[in-house]
Amino acid sequence: MKKQSPLQSVTADSHQKRLYSLTGIINIGLVTLILSIFVLAVTTYSKLKSFEESLILMTDESLPTVVHSGELYSQMSLLMSVTERLSGANSDAMRRIAYNAINQQLASLDDVAMDRSDNAYMLAQLRSIRRELADLNSLVEQKLTVNTLLNTQQDKLFTLHSNITDTATATVTNLANQPWYLAFSNVVARASEVLTTDQLSLIRQQQRTLSALLDKLDSLSQAQRTSKIQGASAISTQLRRMILDDKAGLIALRQSQLKIVGRVRGRGNFVRNLISDYARLNEFESHQLNESVLERAYDTSRLVTQQIQHISIIFVFVFLAYVAFVLFIHHAVVRRLKKLRNQVQQRAAGDSREIKMSGKDEMTELAHSFEQFASTIETQKATLEELSLRDALTGIANRRALDERYLQEIHVASRQRWPLSVMLLDVDFFKQYNDNYGHGQGDECLKQVAQLLKSTLPRKTDLLARYGGEEFAILLPDTDQAGAIRVAEAILNAFKEAQIPHDFSGVADHITISIGISVSKDVLGDHTIPSFDEADKSLYTAKRQGRNKWVMYDESIV
């Protein structure tokens, strides 16, 4: 059963409250003249009925189609957004979350498709998009698998290098064995370069270089002078397998990683273009339907006016009567329709004035329907903009909102020469928290941290934002160095009192936080602006000095 949209319900309710009808008034006018010119009355009535049908067509077909198109475009925009998240997923948890969001969005689009008369075509398009998204999800899953294997192999390589280096340092080594250690370190260093190379041709060159270096290491391992190095040949063989193995070697995995990343990027762009093209196609079809209905209404009005003018030449009495009739049509219909058209065009161009029409008839209902539609679109747009400035996990401002607010505040601070302070905060040993408590508990911890930080900022002008991962940023307008220090101390005390458990922290048995501060200064009449780079350097210094403290930036910090 086809669902009735909210816009249709509003139109139906307003129809019941309508005080008078244009059709009724026109019919009464025709009845007064039917005895003298029956043919004229019948012809005029047929034209007016055609005009009424155009209005009904706009109300019953065009507007619901526009509403569905707007809803479809909004859903498609959200689908494109979660597709971006799937393409950029850097963990299996992020991939599953993004793919579940995509499936929910596709289910919503299926519901929209069932309300459309051409739902067979739309469902076919959605099936195509669903297949492409499933392929993209598979590619992202492959990418994450290869990333995991590559990280594992990298850890093994660095562990082997660390063990060999510790052995060489702890024992008194014959000078004759030094070439072997140098060759081993050279191979590990060259292998590390593969992890930062983004071109397959360069990786193949590095593969040939590493093969030659490993051959040299094998030769040194077999030489008599290296006999005191325990297991040198086995180490050389193990190192060769780690780097040059056709399937699990470091080079093979890096090549697979680059290929899959390219495929994920290409498939992601293709899917986004597919969704965007389909959304624009539906919007274009809706626009064509509206243009057709409006043109039909205009043609009908023009024909009615012409017919009245022709008949008025023959009958003077009819002429006088129809002059009044035409004036009524022009005043009650044509002029109001043009006024409505101008209001709709102005609203589409960005004018915020309400679309309204005097009277209580079909034209008023049409104006009200257009206003409802425009308001719905503007509300959805405002909602999307608000969501784009919020962090999905913690509910506080995100990096984009922080950047926009930062630009505003430095402009005000520079113009008014007001103090301005910025802070960067990082949860101490959060990786250990995630590794031991799990990512789900880690997310809950970040939410608690966000709420705790928010509670220490009583001023509405202060801004708390998630800077990335376990990092947060605070913007303190009209706050000097002393004020920033008070806020930092309040934050440290709040975490000390909160006692959020963290048994794997290297600082305390609870969650602690390190803070880097940058404050504006007046030097020789110049007003310097604080930056997040300075705050980041201060944060790094706080980490080096033992964490769970704040550090104020000065020029001595490198």
Angle at 147 between CA 144 and CA 150, to 5 degrees: 155
pTM higher than 0.75: no
177: nearest Cα among 188, 164, 161, 158 = 164
pLDDT digits (tens, 9 = 90+) for 31-45: 776 766 776 666 666
The Cα 128–Cα 106 span in angstroms is: 11
Residue 10 has pLDDT above 70, yes or no: no
Instruction: State the pLDDT at residue 58.
Output: 60
Residue 549 pLDDT exceeds 80: yes
Q: Which residue has the higher pLDDT, 557 or 355?
A: 557
State yes or no: pLDDT of 547 exceeds 80: yes
- Report CA torsion sign: 546, 549, 554, 558: positive
What number is the average pLDDT over the span 494-511?
94
pLDDT of 303 reads: 61
Catalytic: 61?
no
Region of 172 on the Ramachandran plot (φ > 0 left; ψ -120 to 50 alpha; else beta): beta
Beta strands in 311-454 (DSSP E): 420-427
Q: Indicate the fold that domain 399-552 takes in CATH.
A: Alpha-Beta Plaits (3.30.70)
- Confidence band (pLDDT; 50, 70, 90) for 247? confident
pLDDT at 159 over 70: yes
Query: Can you tell me the mean pLDDT for 308-324?
Result: 68
Distance, in Å, from the CA atom of 246 to the CA atom of 238, rounded to the nearest integer, reads: 14
User: Among positive and negative, which fits the CA dihedral 479, 485, 486, 491?
Assistant: positive
Residue of 546 and 168 predicted with greater confidence = 546
**Average pLDDT of the segment spanning 115-121:** 65
Quick check: 207 pLDDT over 70? yes
C-alpha to C-alpha distance for 523 and 530, rounded to whole angstroms: 13
Least confident stretch, 250-264, 331-345, 392-406: 331-345
Tokens encoding 543:
């980490």
| Residue 505, φ and ψ in degrees, nearest 5 | -80, 145
Confidence of residue 11 (pLDDT cuts 50, 70, 90): very low
**pLDDT tens for residues 44-71?**
666 556 656 666 666 666 666 666 666 7
For 373-395, what is each residue's pLDDT tens digit? 777 776 767 666 666 789 889 99
pLDDT of 1 higher than 50: no
Q: Which residue has the higher pLDDT, 358 or 237?
A: 237
The H or E element that residue 473 is part of is strand 471-477
Percent of the chain residues past pLDDT 90, beyond the cut: 25
Which of 244-253, 409-418, 431-440, 447-456 is predicted least confidently?
244-253
Would you say 239 and 183 are in contact if contact means Cβ atoms under 8 Å apart?
Answer: no
- Out of 128-142, 178-192, 541-555, the most confident range is 541-555
Q: Which of 365, 409, 470, 534 is catalytic?
A: 470
Backbone φ and ψ for 508, nearest 5 degrees, come out as -150, 180
Name the residue ranges covered by the structural domains of the chain: 6-66+280-382, 146-256, 399-552
Q: Which residue has the higher pLDDT, 174 or 11?
A: 174
Asked whether the predicted pLDDT for residue 156 surpasses 50, the reply is yes
pLDDT of residue 51: 56
Residue 361 has pLDDT above 90, yes or no: no
Name the residue with higher pLDDT: 227 or 86: 86
Of residues 141 and 497, more confidently modeled: 497
User: Mean pLDDT, the chain, as a whole number?
Assistant: 78
Write the CB contacts of 214 (distance below 8 Å, at least 6 apart in sequence).
187, 236, 239, 240, 243, 244
User: Within a 10 A sphere around the Cβ of 345, how many other Cβ atoms?
Assistant: 10
Look at residue 464 in the predicted model and tell me its pLDDT: 96
- Which pLDDT tens digit goes with each residue over 406-432? 999 999 998 888 999 999 999 999 999
How would residue 309 be classed by pLDDT, with cut points 50, 70 and 90? Answer: low
Read off the DSSP letter of residue 505.
-
pLDDT recorded at residue 260: 82
Q: What average pLDDT does the segment 74-93 reach?
A: 79
Q: Is the pLDDT of residue 6 over 50?
A: no
